[in-house]
Amino acid sequence: MSLALELNVVTDRARVGCKGPAAAAWLAARGIQVPSGANRYEIVESGVLAARLATSEFLLESTDRTVNATLEPVRTSLERADYPRGVYPVLRQDFVLEVAGPDAQELFLQTCAVDLLPIERESTATAGPLVMTSMIGVSVVLTCRRLADGPRFTVWSDPSYREYFHSQLQAIAGGIPS
């Protein structure tokens, strides 16, 4: 038996990262408000997911390709070193996977080092906790959005593990009885 589950590779969303003691203010000056608390994400009005990893590192990602251009000025500034002291670019080449479906929690129970049910409960469609953990031995950053059709988890991992990570999750999802 297999799980009622979707594993979708996300390749078409713009993504940038930066960190440092001046990064939050620098992003705010560019119209991107970031969450005030550590390990949180919010989807801002422009459609950008703004995630605060710990206290001063930020991951910004468009929620779909129609808002990719919103991140272009930030990306350009980071690439050209056009930022103030206290802001440092972070290269974001993540492998991104979205996990959805009624059996998502079952997959996470078997593969993730953290129980994600409390994360799902605390999340909304536009904000929630961000978790740094591991899945099947791979370090990941993970969020959950509770949408009308159910929870949708986004998982960012190191791109060098792409084939292993994706194929193992597919194999596990295909072998868990529903």
Question: What are the pLDDT digits (tens) for 113-154?
Answer: 999 999 999 999 999 999 999 999 999 999 999 999 999 999
pLDDT at position 80: 97
Q: Where in the chain is the domain with CATH 3.30.1360.120?
A: 6-10+93-175
- The CATH code that applies to domain 15-90 is 3.30.70
107, 52 in Cβ contact below 8 A?
no
Q: In which band, very low, low, confident or very high, does the pLDDT at 169 lie, cut at 50, 70 and 90?
A: very high
Q: In which band, very low, low, confident or very high, does the pLDDT at 1 lie, cut at 50, 70 and 90?
A: low
The yes-or-no verdict on residue 56 having pLDDT over 70 is: yes
1, 178 in Cβ contact below 8 A?
yes
Q: In which band, very low, low, confident or very high, does the pLDDT at 176 lie, cut at 50, 70 and 90?
A: low
Q: Where in the chain is the domain with CATH 3.30.70?
A: 15-90
DSSP 109-177: HHHBSS--HHHHHH--SSEEEEEEEEETTEEEEEEEEEETTEEEEEEEE-GGGHHHHHHHHHHHHHHS-
More confident residue, 48 or 45: 48
Rounded to 10°, the helix 162-175/104-111 angle is 120
Paired residues of 53 in beta bridges: 57
| Residue in this structure with the two tokens 């930022």, named with its chain if needed | 83
Q: In which band, very low, low, confident or very high, does the pLDDT at 13 lie, cut at 50, 70 and 90?
A: very high
pLDDT at position 104: 94
CATH superfamily ID and name for 6-10+93-175: Probable tRNA modification gtpase trme; domain 1 (3.30.1360.120)
71, 48 in Cβ contact below 8 A?
yes
How far is Cα 92 from Cα 61, in angstroms, rounded to an integer?
10
144, 152 in Cβ contact below 8 A?
yes
107, 5 in Cβ contact below 8 A?
yes
The yes-or-no verdict on residue 178 having pLDDT over 90 is: no
The per-residue pLDDT for range 59-108, each reduced to its tens digit, is 999 998 888 898 999 999 999 999 999 999 999 999 999 999 999 999 99
pLDDT at position 67: 85
Question: pTM for the full model?
Answer: 0.92
Q: In which band, very low, low, confident or very high, does the pLDDT at 45 lie, cut at 50, 70 and 90?
A: confident
